[in-house]
Amino acid sequence: MANQLKMAEQHAIIRLAEHGWSYRRIAREMGVHRENVARYVALAQGDARAGPAPPDGMADPFVSMTGVDRVVAGDDPSKPAISITGSDGFSEVHGGPKPAISIAGSAGRRSDCEPHRAVIMEALGRGLTSQRIWQDLRADNGFAGSYQSVQRFVRHLRTVQPLPCRRMECEPGAEAQIDFGTGAPVIVPVDANVPNGRARRRKTHVLRVVLSHSRKAYSEVVYRQTTEEFIRCIENAFRHFGGAPRTLVVDNLKAAVIQADWFDPEINPKVEAFCRHYGTVILPTKPYTPRHKGKTERGIGYVKSNGLKGRTFTSFQEQNEHLLEWEATVADTRIHGTTKKQVGRLFEEVERSAMLPLPVERFPFFHEAQRRVHRDGHVEVDKAYYSVPPENVGRMVWARWDGRVVRIFNDRLQQIAIHARHEAGRFSTQTQHIVAEKIAGVERGAEWLLKKIGRIGPHSARWAESMLAERGIQGIRVLVGLNALAHRYTDDRIEQACEIAQSHGVHHLRSIRELIKRTAPRQNQFEFIDRHPIIRGLAEYGAFIRTAFIHTPLPSGVPS
């Protein structure tokens, strides 16, 4: 005799199937085998292939062979029932149409909490727990149900169905989505000149740029995901399209985004300069949210599965040539599953004319890196040294250089210095970058020194000019020394010394110093007093000494 489920279990299986539950879910919740679930549901639907009928002596609880409605829940008319009827009163076993399952009663037993739905909803809005809600219902509303009934009802109310995703379609030329994926391997052949050499297998990365409106795409393979390779590939894509989109949606890859932030990301300065050159804007997606660039996510899978899967190449140039041909002959000629139009034709007819025009020149490719300003006010770029304004000493700056010039930017990407490119080991120091206190008088030159000495007086200026004419280059230091004397002595004393030295034809700085000392004012003389109320006379001190000698005994051996 075959095992039979209880009537309540059979009834539950039928009702859950009516509510759209899968056989797997019903089997998991009921603790029965999935095939048993399928068999009982098939029996309820009148399928003769479901298996043998129930054992003798047991009434079939599911199928009415005559097409008359039966109550599946037993003889209790208060319970909800399932009506199993055929359209013409004949079952499938007799060749008639397949019966249908329909709910004759309600969807299930009504919860005791249903009359208090509004009160429970308001309590949930205040953040109350199921226990507290049950207590308040009993105290304030005369609720007689159990705590478990309230718990089940609250659990049902808290069940939130996920919101449907919103599709975002773009206007022609408005957006391009960019992402990296794994390319086909490159097998470098064996070098015949190397004994016992082996072929090398190199990993590649494929970058794919997909226009969001027409799904026109460009693919290129690189060995490394660097910022330079990223910019070069996108620029090649713009040239391939014949224009640039207004926005670029990228993942938070390190080649483009320094610090990922949905609200205020930090973009690589080189990428920002590239976008300004082409008039476009880069918009990184939210971290860990690939659906924000779903078009290129699917595009990467498409190029990997259709264009590159199962293929190997001997160089990445060969792989790039294959991708160009594949894009033109396969990807552009397909009917896209979403747009229902041919990709290449839609691009040519609608999107090409909507792209931003390309500038005449390509983006001036440069190298860029952060540098710390040394204590001497210079930064090192390719083993050469370039000065910056003195207020940047010790700070981090951005250096951007190419084959001709070196530009220095502060942390706000404002240019603070520009230099011609120098060879390794050379210093490029601009005068405006030197602090005034660090510029020696000798560096400023004789003209500047003579002009400053002229402010002391005419005699000093004449002596300085004649001294410089006599001593030549050596006189530059003498001028610096004369200027230094102005910090120690007054102008009148220097003027007097220079006038005397000029009259005697003396052109040495030490002579000026001696003359200044000789013309110094006399030192003030103080008169000493020999009488004062607090000073005793000499006679008193003499008497004190004599008294001390008289009363002090002499040591033995000393004659008196």
Give the whole-number percent of the chain exceeding pLDDT 90.
Answer: 26
Residue 244 has pLDDT above 90, yes or no: yes
Rg, Å, the chain Cα set:
50
DSSP E strand stretches across 350-454: 367-372, 378-381, 384-387, 396-401, 405-409, 415-420, 427-428
Residue 384 has pLDDT above 50, yes or no: yes
H-helix or E-strand spanning residue 282:
strand 281-284
- Among 72, 103, 134, the domain boundary falls at 103
Residue 525 lies in a domain: no
Residue 537 lies in a domain: no
CA–CA gap between residue 68 and residue 86 (Å, rounded): 8
Residue 352's pLDDT is: 93
Q: pLDDT band for position 530 (50/70/90)?
A: low
Q: pLDDT tens digits for 292-311?
A: 767 767 888 899 999 998 89
Residue 161's pLDDT is: 56
CA–CA gap between residue 314 and residue 4 (Å, rounded): 67
* Spatial contact of 396 and 410, defined as CB atoms under 8 Å apart: no
Are 204 and 349 within one domain? yes
Residue 448 lies in a domain: yes
CA distances from 262 to 275, 288, 455 (A): 19, 11, 64
Q: pLDDT band for position 371 (50/70/90)?
A: very high
**Range from 88-102, 238-252, 468-482, 520-534 that averages highest in pLDDT:** 238-252
Residue 545's pLDDT is: 76
Sign of dihedral through CA atoms 275, 278, 279, 283? Answer: negative
Q: What is the CATH number of the domain that holds 254?
A: 3.30.420.10
- Among 297, 319, 354, the domain boundary falls at 354
Are 234 and 350 within one domain? yes
Residue 172's pLDDT is: 93
* Spatial contact of 342 and 333, defined as CB atoms under 8 Å apart: yes
Residue 315's pLDDT is: 87
- Phi and psi at 530, nearest 5°, equal -105, -5
Are 234 and 142 within one domain? no
Residue-wise burial string across 211-247, b where 16 or more C-beta atoms lie within 10 A, e elsewhere: bbbbbbbbbbbbeeeebebbbbbbbbbbebbebbbbb
| Residues 174, 162, 285: CA angle, nearest 5 degrees | 30
Residue 553 lies in a domain: no
- Among 299, 333, 354, the domain boundary falls at 354
Are 121 and 181 within one domain? no
Residue 234 has pLDDT above 50, yes or no: yes
Residue 388's pLDDT is: 92
Are 376 and 424 within one domain? yes
Residue 1's pLDDT is: 40
Q: pLDDT band for position 91 (50/70/90)?
A: very low
DSSP state of 127: T
Are 215 and 136 within one domain? no
Residue 550 lies in a domain: no
Residue 60 has pLDDT above 50, yes or no: no
Are 224 and 326 within one domain? yes
User: In 10 A of CB 174, how many CB atoms?
Assistant: 16
Q: pLDDT band for position 25 (50/70/90)?
A: confident
Q: pLDDT tens digits for 163-214?
A: 677 777 789 999 999 988 899 999 887 665 656 667 788 899 999 999 999 9
CA–CA gap between residue 63 and residue 99 (Å, rounded): 9
Are 486 and 510 within one domain? yes
Average pLDDT (527-538) is 67
SS3 content of the chain, % helix, strand, coil (to 5): 40, 15, 45
Residue 444 has pLDDT above 70, yes or no: no
DSSP E strand stretches across 152-280: 175-182, 186-188, 200-202, 205-211, 217-222, 247-250, 257-259, 266-267
DSSP E strand stretches across 24-171: 82-85, 100-103
Are 121 and 99 within one domain? no
Q: Average pLDDT, whole number, for the chain?
A: 79
Give the tokens for residue 532: 């004062």
Are 186 and 289 within one domain? yes
Are 349 and 468 within one domain? no
Residue 292 lies in a domain: yes
Average pLDDT (242-263) is 90
Q: pLDDT band for position 240 (50/70/90)?
A: very high
Residue 545 lies in a domain: no
63-77, 100-114, 149-163, range with the lowest pLDDT: 63-77
Residue 350's pLDDT is: 93
Residue 556 lies in a domain: no
Q: pLDDT tens digits for 417-431?
A: 999 988 888 888 888
Are 217 and 325 within one domain? yes
Residue 111's pLDDT is: 84
Residue 436's pLDDT is: 64
Residue 488's pLDDT is: 85
- The domain total for the chain is 5
Average pLDDT (316-331) is 92
Residue 107 has pLDDT above 70, yes or no: no
Q: Which domain holds residue 418?
A: 367-433
